[in-house]
Structure formats: C-alpha cells, structure tokens
Structure 1
Amino acid sequence: MSEQVAVVVVTYNRADLLEGMLAGLSALDRAPDAVFVVDNASTDHTREVLERSTLPGLVAIHTTDNLGGAGGFRLGLQTAYERGYDAMWLMDDDVVPAPDCLTRLLEADGSCLIAVREDRAGALVEKAALRFDLRNPLAIRPKTASIDSTYPSRAAMPATVEVENVAFEGFLVRREVIDRIGLPDASFFIFYDDVDFAIRARRAGFAIRAVRDAVLVRQLDFDQQHDLAGWKGYYMYRNLFVVHFRYGENPLVRLKPALIALVVVLLSPLRGGRAEAANVTRALRDGWRMRARPTR
C-alpha cells in the first residue's frame, strides 16, 4: 500500500467522455496518488472540465500542439516518472474503471499489467494479443489471437493471461520498466506506439499480464477499420511497417512491408484508389526512415 501510483490520461476534444472517465477515477476504492491529464491542445470545453474537476491530485498539462496519443503518453509518463512515482497507470478518455480496478491490478504480480476491457453491455472487448507474430512472413496480420477472440467471456479467463501487446488504455507499468527501456516513442503520433513499447518491454524480460478481475468499461465501440485512404490510414500503414522493420525476426518478415505496399498499389484501381496508393507508398518510405530502435 506504500506504492505511489500516478494515473496518466491523454485527451483531445472529447471533453464529455473525459468528464465521465474522471468521475470513474473519483469512485476508485484505492485512489491514485496523482492524476496527470495531458490535454493535446483541445479546442472544445476540455479546459473547463479540468478546471471544475474536484479529483484529488489532478494535474492538467495543456500542450500548445497536438502531440498525438504517442506524444501525449510520452509526456505524461515522463512527468510522472520524473516526479518519482512507483507505478504509472495509462488511460484514454473513453474508458471508465470499475471501482476496484486499480485494487485488483495492484494485487497482481508483475511490472507490466493490463486491465481487461468490456463494453457497456458487459461483453469482453479486450484486443490485447495472445500472439503477435513477427516470425512468419505469411502472417498477413501479426496479431493472430487476442483475448476476446480466445475467451468467450471474462468468466472463462484464468486469473491472469500473458499477452504480447497492449493498448495504452488501462496499462499499468512500474518504473523499473522505464529504467530499463525508456519512454514510449513519440514519433509514432498515433497507432502502434503501445505495441512498440510492449515489444521492447518483453524483449527486456518483462512479462505482460492481463488481470481478469480488473474491469475497464469502454464507452465507445471499436472502430479500428479506418479509412486507409485518409490521414489515419497513412499512420496505420507507416507504423505497422515500422514495427516490422524494427522487430521482424527474419529478413522475410522485415521485407513484408514492401510486399504489402506493392499489393496495395497494384490493387488500387479496384480498391482504395490513388489516395491509398499514395498513403502506402509514403508510409513505406517514412517507415524505413524510422527503422532505428529507440534507445530511451
């Protein structure tokens, strides 16, 4: 109970969701010792929500530019780490923890732990990968099994489940992990920054465990099938390619981004069009430039 825990939240233009999430933190039976909210240059009423919050230990960090989720989590995590907290619990603005969520996490062993997400109806929606395959070049998607594709319900899970990637949405990390591997890579901007961090942690010897009884309720439906011809599509392609370039376990896996880009370009007259072809071509070039692994 002497462990000092800081919550790190990143938000951008979702003030109403943020307000509900902060209310959830206020209802925790084990209160965090600090809450750092990184407001990514929001233009809605986020500042007003933060100013009227009565949550103890709340520190608002207002950025002048949108740093993306990756930059926001790096800034918040760095702030909490430099202030000496023992554990940092990362949170998006669209989730609400059950009152005993932090208690259940702190009861579990390990330096990397995740709460298990469900939707508002109670259905399991935890996407953390049980297997993230960077060895098989024929695996189109590296995530070959997730918690919600493996277990039909929370009750069917064992008390803890070892996973190979995380979302920065209910992820608790202890400071010894930061000591060893450093902070999240802000250059991802959005998407795959959490995957990159998880791979680095596992390769440094830290297991990542999902804690069944730590409940996190997601307020929005998953909509990860973004328009690959839009701006988010560029980041999805680029950052997926970066993960393959950095951590592919053999030359064929590290070549897979080039093959994906070629297929997308060849099929662009039938699907995606010129915009997606331009996205994937630029993503391949920029992903290659990001291939060096972060040192801290």
Structure 2
Amino acid sequence: MTESVAIVVVTYNRADLLAPMLEGLRRLERPAEAVIVVDNASTDHTGDVLAQARVAGLQVVRSAQNLGGAGGFHLGLKTAYDQGFDRIWLMDDDVVPAPDCLTVLLAQDEPCLAAVREDSAGRLVEKAAVRFDLRNPLAVRPKTDMVETVFGRRDDMPARVAIENVAFEGFMVRREVVARIGLPDPSYFIFYDDVDFALRARRAGYTIWAIRDAVLVRQLDFSQQHDLAGWKGFYMYRNLFAVHFRYGENALVRAKPWLITAAVVLLSPLRGGRREAANVVRALRSARGMRSLPSSSVD
C-alpha cells in the first residue's frame, strides 16, 4: 500500500535555518505529497525564503500572531489531517533529513515513528527518553534515560528503540493516532507539547519507535539551559508542572510541582533570585488550570 505523506514544519524568525531545511526536503529521494509550513508571524526574511523555495507540494499557512511551537504544530497537524493524509511527519525548522530518511520511515508499518537526530559532526544527539518516569516521586526529572546516553553511538543502537517521549523534530504519526487522541495542545505555547502528545499516544496503547537508520541532522547545537528567571523559564516550569498534574501516576508525583515551587522559593536568596521565585509561583498557579486533558476531537 502506498501511503500519502504530509510534512509539517513550524518556523518563526529563523529564515537562515529554514532555507537549508527546505532544501533537505527537496532532496528527499521519496518526496512527500505536501509540505505544510506554518509561519508563526515571522518578521525576518522568512517570506522571501518561502517564496523562493523549490519544494514540491509546498503550502504556506501564515498565522496572524506567534502561536508558539505548540500552537503552530496544532494548526499544522490539523491542516494536514483535514486534507486526508495517511501519515504526517512533524519537523522543526532547524533540522535537515538525510535523503533516504522518509524512505526508511515509510518502510516501518507502525503508527508512531521518530527519526534519530545527530549533530553536524555525525554524533548521536537523540534526547528522546528511553525512560520517562512519572511514577517515582524522588525522580528529580522524569526523563531518566535518553537514547544518546544509553547507546552513545548510532552504530550501537538496535534497528529500532522504544521511546517514551518525543520531540516534534522528525516525529511521524498515522492519522489513526490523531483521530484517537486529538491534536497537540496549543496551551503549552512552547516546551512539553510534544511530551504531552507522546504520553497521550502511549496511554492509548501505541508504542513509539525511534528508527536508527532514519537520520535527521540538527543545524544547531542543543542548548538545554534556559534562563529560569526569564519568560522561557515560566513556560519550562509551568509546562513541566502541567505534565505532572495531568499524568502523574500517584498522588506523590502529582504533588511534586508544589515541592519544587517551595524549594525554588526557599533557595531563591542563594540561587535564581526573586525573578525565578516569582516565575515558579506564577507557573504553579497557571499549571493548575491545565490539569484537564485536552480534547481528543480533531474538529
């Protein structure tokens, strides 16, 4: 059976990364039927890059405002789903697939797949969790093991590895998954929207497979450290708390946001300062309003 594929890309003010990314899509040995780019109200020369792109099946969806990555993927996935595509491949604007990446993924008869990321030097940098622990209240971070830390090199991986969370950088789903669990939750804005989607998929009974030979190259180095006293810090805390409130497997895990907030506030004179303390308190309040699961409807 030949399945139709739409690639969904979300971009915001990163035209110089988007251009080589689109060129990578153009060079796929098996092109997608559609490439849907959600432009999150970019103010740089993203429009020029899109106008000059030579990608077959290109569709540009321009948002009137910046919806964040979460809102962008919500809009892009819904657009692809409404057009009836069998598989939808989600990508950020800073990755470039190997020419055979889509071919390798389509050879897998599985509903949830992920390409495996490496850096520009060919080193394995796949940070998807092999273990995402929402049962142990003593786990400081729920992501306790990652593909890159467990295997070290792509050559040491088996052909496919079951993973427990994803990044929307090379994650592919069949439409049946979207029909069953719904769309990414746009209320996350940035961070953890992909984690939330993966948790819902797994709880619906799907296994997510990272495919060793599906190569995706990151143009940028990972920078996992963010200013927790700044605006991104608010979303980091709030969305982490929301995941614990929604999916924590026992009362102690669901109480972790309160404990983290108390610890950050108490330690703020020594680290973080007042701005981080204010951020974490505001994040806790906001996350309490996100405890309900998102709708499973695609309408």
Instruction: Normalising by structure 1, report the TM-score.
Output: 0.99
Equivalent residues in 2 for 1:208-287 (5 A)? 208-287=208-287
Aligned to 1:64: 64
Letter in 1 for 2:31: A
Aligned to 1:181: 181
Q: Secondary structure at the match of 1:220?
A: coil
Q: Secondary structure at the match of 2:255?
A: helix
Name the Cα RMSD after superposition: 0.6
Shift of 1:109: 2.6
What's the CA shift string for 1:46-95, capped at 9, x where partnerless? Answer: 01110111111000111110000000000000000000000000001100
Aligned to 1:2: 2
Aligned to 1:43: 43
Shift of 1:138: 0.2
Shift of 1:295: 2.0
Aligned to 1:151: 151
Letter in 2 for 1:39: D
Aligned to 1:193: 193
Aligned to 2:172: 172
Letter in 2 for 1:174: R
Aligned to 1:204: 204
What is the alpha-carbon distance in structure 1 between the residues aligned to residue 275 and residue 290 of structure 2? 22
Structure 2 gaps of 5+ residues are: none
Query: Percent same amino acid among aligned pairs?
Result: 70
Q: Secondary structure at the match of 1:96?
A: strand
What is the alpha-carbon distance in structure 2 between the residues aligned to residue 278 and residue 2 of structure 1? 53
What is the alpha-carbon distance in structure 1 between the residues aligned to residue 10 and residue 242 of structure 2? 23
What is the alpha-carbon distance in structure 1 between the residues aligned to residue 289 and residue 103 of structure 2? 42
What is the alpha-carbon distance in structure 2 between the residues aligned to residue 191 and residue 155 of structure 1? 29
Aligned to 2:160: 160
Letter in 2 for 1:148: E
What is the alpha-carbon distance in structure 2 between the residues aligned to residue 126 and residue 152 of structure 1? 9
What is the alpha-carbon distance in structure 2 between the residues aligned to residue 287 and residue 265 of structure 1? 17
Q: Secondary structure at the match of 1:225?
A: coil
What is the alpha-carbon distance in structure 2 between the residues aligned to residue 284 and residue 41 of structure 1? 29
Letter in 1 for 2:294: P
Matched, 1:141 2:105: no
Shift of 1:108: 1.4
Equivalent residues in 2 for 1:25-104 (5 A)? 25-104=25-104
Q: Secondary structure at the match of 1:201?
A: helix
Aligned to 1:121: 121
Aligned to 1:19: 19
Letter in 2 for 1:131: R
What is the alpha-carbon distance in structure 1 between the residues aligned to residue 145 and residue 217 of structure 2? 21
Shift of 1:210: 0.1
What is the alpha-carbon distance in structure 2 between the residues aligned to residue 110 and residue 165 of structure 1? 16
What's the CA shift string for 1:166-206, capped at 9, x where partnerless? Answer: 00000001100011000000000000000000000000011
Task: Tell me the number of residue pairs that the alignment of Structure 1 and Structure 2 aligns.
Answer: 296
Letter in 2 for 1:294: P
Letter in 1 for 2:274: R
Q: Secondary structure at the match of 2:117?
A: strand
Letter in 2 for 1:223: S
Instruction: Normalising by structure 2, report the TM-score.
Output: 0.98
Letter in 1 for 2:180: R
What is the alpha-carbon distance in structure 2 between the residues aligned to residue 119 and residue 295 of structure 1? 36
Matched, 1:289 2:286: no
What is the alpha-carbon distance in structure 2 between the residues aligned to residue 82 and residue 174 of structure 1? 13
Shift of 1:9: 0.1
Q: Secondary structure at the match of 1:224?
A: coil
Structure 1 segments of 4+ aligned residues over 4 angstroms from their partners: none
What's the CA shift string for 1:228-287, capped at 9, x where partnerless? Answer: 000000000000000000000000000000000000000000111000000000000000
Aligned to 2:112: 112
